[in-house]
Structure 1
Amino acid sequence: MHSHLRFENPPALPHEAVVETLERALRDRAHEGEAASVLVGSALNDEDREFVEHWCVQVGTRAVPGSPLLGLAGLCLGHTARRFGYLSAEALALVESLAARAEADPKEVDGRALDGFDDARSFLHLW
Structure 2
Amino acid sequence: MHSHPSFENPPALGHEVVVETLERALRDRSHEAEAATVLVGSALNDDDGDFVEHWCVQVGTRAVQGSPLLGLAGLCLGHTARRFGRLGDEALALSESLAVRAEADPSDVDGLALDGYDDVRSFLHLW
TM-score of the superposition, structure 2-length normalised? 0.99
For residue 119 of structure 2, what is the aligned residue in structure 1? 119
Alignment partner, residue 107 of structure 1: 107
Displacement of 1:56: 0.1
* CA drift at 1:6: 1.0
* Percent of residue pairs identical: 83
Match of 1:61 in 2: 61
Whole-Å Cα distance in 2 between the matches of residues 4 and 81 of structure 1? 31
Question: Which 5+ residue runs of structure 1 have no aligned equivalent?
Answer: none
Deviations 1:22-43 (A, max 9, x none): 0000000000000000000000
Deviation per CA, 1:38-97, whole angstroms, max 9, x where unpaired?
A: 000000000000000000000000000100000000000000000000000000000000
C-alpha separation between the residues in 2 aligned to 1:39 and 1:63?
Answer: 13
CA RMSD of aligned residues (A): 0.5
CA distance in 2, matches of 1:115, 1:75: 6
Query: What is the count of residue pairs matched by the alignment?
Result: 127
Q: Which runs of 5+ in 2 are unaligned?
A: none
Q: Is structure 2 residue 96 aligned with structure 1 residue 96?
A: yes
For each residue in 1:2-36, what CA deviation from the matched residue of structure 2 results, as whole angstroms up to 9, or x when unmatched?
22211100000000000000000000000000000
SS at match of 2:37: helix
CA distance in 2, matches of 1:6, 1:120: 27
Alpha-carbon deviation of 1:118? 0.1
| In 2: Cα distance, 1:56 partner to 1:36 partner | 11
